């Protein structure tokens, strides 16, 4: 059974030794908890796929401690450098032409690599102590809800790994924004995330190709952006608040769990099958709480989960992206 360890100097050293010996360690990041391995070690990387049950055609994100380290593993263009200088360390992943030192197993044999420099202090301390980058997808069984607490990792992968570095709740709570920058002149958003398309477009005075356009043009394949993902074991539906109110009234047997954006004013708090993601509807708070609440509710006896529609603006775009995938069966 995995040991959950606090990020003391000694424990970071322990994690470092573990990773240097081809083992995996679950690590905190500002987005969600990751399952990390030496990205240059084929055997260790294969373990990630095995433990998660992740198909080998789904490429991994490589994590580095700096822009300088990123340059060792991919070919940066001026646009990528500008984005890295603005948003790294942080929740931005860039897809760029890879260098030969990144093994094919990491990138599903694509000639590009997804690379990110994270901001979580503990993860950075670990990365800075290592002579190699870390491949790290979310630390959950493939397709299930991503973990935002050490205990989430222990609940679903605890019998398959040794160490979980615990740094409390993930600060952001959803996965990074992924941008395809192989063509620096026409960057494309592959996965919406905490860093919004609007923010990037305003900062750099450009227009990004949207995930929808990417799918339609088929020009920039991004394997792994599956329709069904991030899913609880119970069926999940996304419903407007006005309709939810009617559903709550009808659901006399309390078979459904209702997850609202914010604390309801109208409903009595004693209704035990009603949950909320934030006090006042603030998007960052919703993002931070979403996966933990979905996991909690998924463990309860309800037969289905009804989530209130989230307004598709700013981080809400990424949240609706994850919820839509969670609702696919």
In the block, residue with structure tokens 């380290």: 69
| 173 makes contact with ligand AMP (CB under 6 A) | no
Q: How many CB atoms sit inside 10 A of residue 142's CB?
A: 16
Instruction: For the segment 1-30, give every residue that binds ligand AMP (CB under 6 A).
Output: none
- CA dist 229 and 221 (Å) reads 18
Say which entry of ligand AMP, Mg ion, none residue 239 contacts (CB below 5 to 8 A, set by partner kind).
Answer: none
Instruction: Please report which residue ranges of 241-314 form alpha helices under DSSP H.
Output: 241-250, 283-299
Q: Token digits for 177? A: 């924004």
| 318 makes contact with ligand AMP (CB under 6 A) | no
- Between 113 and 306, whose beta carbon lies closer to ligand AMP? 113
Alpha carbon separation from 130 to 55, 115, 123, 232, 311 (Å, rounded):
27, 16, 11, 35, 41
Backbone phi, psi, residue 117, to 5°: -115, 105
Size of the site for ligand AMP (CB under 6 A): 19
Angle at 89 between CA 88 and CA 93, to 5 degrees: 65
Say which entry of Mg ion, ligand AMP, none residue 110 contacts (CB below 5 to 8 A, set by partner kind).
Answer: ligand AMP
| 107 makes contact with ligand AMP (CB under 6 A) | yes
| 91 makes contact with ligand AMP (CB under 6 A) | no
- CA dist 277 and 287 (Å) reads 8
| 84 makes contact with ligand AMP (CB under 6 A) | no
Among residues 224, 232, 264, 316, the one that binds ligand AMP under rule CB under 6 A: 224
- Between 167 and 175, whose beta carbon lies closer to ligand AMP? 175
Instruction: Work out how close the CB of 297 gets to Mg ion at its nearest, in angstroms, rounded to a whole number.
Output: 20
Instruction: Work out how close the CB of 132 gets to Mg ion at its nearest, in angstroms, rounded to a whole number.
Output: 21
Find out whether 24 and 139 touch, Cβ atoms under 8 Å: no
Angle at 304 between CA 302 and CA 310, to 5 degrees: 120
| 58 makes contact with ligand AMP (CB under 6 A) | yes
Instruction: Work out how close the CB of 175 gets to Mg ion at its nearest, in angstroms, rounded to a whole number.
Output: 6
Alpha carbon separation from 164 to 24, 66, 155, 286 (Å, rounded):
9, 23, 11, 25
- Between 59 and 264, whose beta carbon lies closer to ligand AMP? 59
| 113 makes contact with ligand AMP (CB under 6 A) | yes
Among residues 138, 177, 231, 289, the one that binds ligand AMP under rule CB under 6 A: 138
- CA dist 46 and 54 (Å) reads 10
Annotate 220-243 with DSSP letters as a single string.
Answer: S--TT--SS-SB-SS-EEEE-HHH
Say which entry of ligand AMP, Mg ion, none residue 264 contacts (CB below 5 to 8 A, set by partner kind).
Answer: none
Q: Token digits for 213? A: 């356009």
Q: Token digits for 42? A: 């084929």
| 59 makes contact with ligand AMP (CB under 6 A) | yes
| 95 makes contact with ligand AMP (CB under 6 A) | yes
- Between 5 and 214, whose beta carbon lies closer to ligand AMP? 214
Among residues 4, 42, 82, 225, the one that binds ligand AMP under rule CB under 6 A: 225
- Between 37 and 257, whose beta carbon lies closer to ligand AMP? 37
Find out whether 178 and 189 touch, Cβ atoms under 8 Å: yes
| 175 makes contact with ligand AMP (CB under 6 A) | yes
| 148 makes contact with ligand AMP (CB under 6 A) | no
Three-class SS state of 9? helix
| 308 makes contact with ligand AMP (CB under 6 A) | no
Residues that bind ligand AMP (CB under 6 A): 58-61, 95, 107, 110, 112-114, 137-138, 175, 178, 190, 222-225
């Amino acid at each position: 059974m995995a040991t959950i360890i606090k990020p003391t100097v000694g424990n970071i050293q322990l994690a470092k030794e573990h990773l240097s010996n081809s083992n995996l360690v679950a690590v905190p990041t500002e987005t969600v908890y990751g399952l990390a391995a030496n990205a240059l070690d084929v055997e260790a990387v294969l373990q990630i796929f095995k433990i998660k049950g992740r198909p080998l055609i789904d490429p991994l994100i490589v994590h580095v401690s700096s822009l300088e380290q990123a340059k060792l593993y991919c070919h940066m263009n001026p646009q990528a450098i500008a984005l890295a200088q603005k948003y790294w360390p942080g929740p931005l992943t860039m897809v760029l032409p890879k260098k030969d030192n990144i093994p094919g197993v990491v990138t599903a044999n694509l000639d590009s690599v997804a690379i990110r420099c994270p901001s979580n202090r503990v993860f950075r301390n670990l990365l800075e102590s290592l002579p190699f980058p870390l491949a790290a997808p979310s630390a959950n069984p493939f397709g299930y809800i991503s973990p935002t607490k050490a205990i989430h990792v222990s609940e679903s992968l605890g019998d398959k790994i040794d160490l979980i570095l615990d740094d409390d709740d993930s600060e952001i709570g959803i996965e990074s924004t992924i941008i395809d920058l192989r063509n620096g002149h026409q960057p494309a958003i592959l996965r919406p995330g905490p860093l919004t398309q609007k923010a990037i477009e305003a900062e750099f005075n450009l227009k990004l190709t949207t995930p929808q356009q990417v799918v339609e043009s088929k020009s920039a394949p991004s394997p792994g952006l599956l329709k069904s993902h991030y899913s609880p074991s119970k069926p999940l539906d996304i419903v407007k608040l006005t309709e939810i109110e009617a559903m709550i009234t009808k659901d006399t047997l309390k078979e459904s769990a209702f997850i609202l954006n914010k604390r309801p004013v109208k409903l009595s708090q004693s209704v035990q099958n009603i949950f909320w993601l934030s006090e006042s509807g603030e998007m960052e708070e919703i993002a931070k709480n979403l996966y933990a609440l979905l996991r909690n509710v998924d463990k309860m006896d309800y037969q289905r989960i009804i989530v209130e529609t989230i307004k598709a603006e700013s981080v809400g775009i990424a949240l609706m992206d994850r919820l839509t995938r969670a609702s696919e069966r």
